Amino acid sequence: MLQLSYQSLQVTAVPSQRVPAREDQDGPWHAEAVCRRDEAGLFFAPSKEPTAARLSREEAAKRVCARCPVMVECREHALLQPEPYGVWGGLTAAERRVVLARRRRRDVEVKKAQSAA
């Protein structure tokens, strides 16, 4: 397996601004994010990252997301902003674009069905 050092990245996985507060708790959802603890470098690509290294890093980031208690909130944040880079809520930027395109198509279909009724 490809071994990479992520300690050289100085990127925070969850920004301190533009983040909606959780409705069911006192603090913002990102305060509980697993990625804030020690693995932030996994979530954003260094410049000129080889494809194999990117895929390996993204899979490692998704494993972190899978055990995160606020994964759904993180994912929705990234879809609503939309966040153009990084792994958020277990989805890469490309995967989020697919989700957004599906949502747009679904919204168009719902509007068509409503106007036909």
Indicate the pLDDT class of residue 4, thresholds 50, 70 and 90.
Answer: very low
Q: Is 112 annotated as a binding residue?
A: no
Token couple for 70: 């606020």
Residue 8 amino acid letter: S
Q: Is 65 annotated as a binding residue?
A: yes
Task: Please give the angle made by the CA atoms of 25, 31 and 37, to the nearest 5 degrees.
Answer: 145
Contact 35, 68 (CB under 8 A): yes
Domains of the chain, by residue range, sit at 31-115
Indicate the pLDDT class of residue 22, thresholds 50, 70 and 90.
Answer: very low
Residue 5 amino acid letter: S
d(CA 111, CA 98): 20
Q: Is 15 annotated as a binding residue?
A: no
Q: What is the pLDDT of residues 93-116, one digit of tens each?
A: 999 999 999 999 999 999 889 888
Q: Is 25 annotated as a binding residue?
A: no
**Residue 91 three-state SS:** strand
Rounded to an integer, what is the distance from CA 57 to the centroid of its chain? 14
Average pLDDT value for residue range 7-22: 37
Indicate the pLDDT class of residue 7, thresholds 50, 70 and 90.
Answer: very low
Q: What is the mean pLDDT of the chain?
A: 80
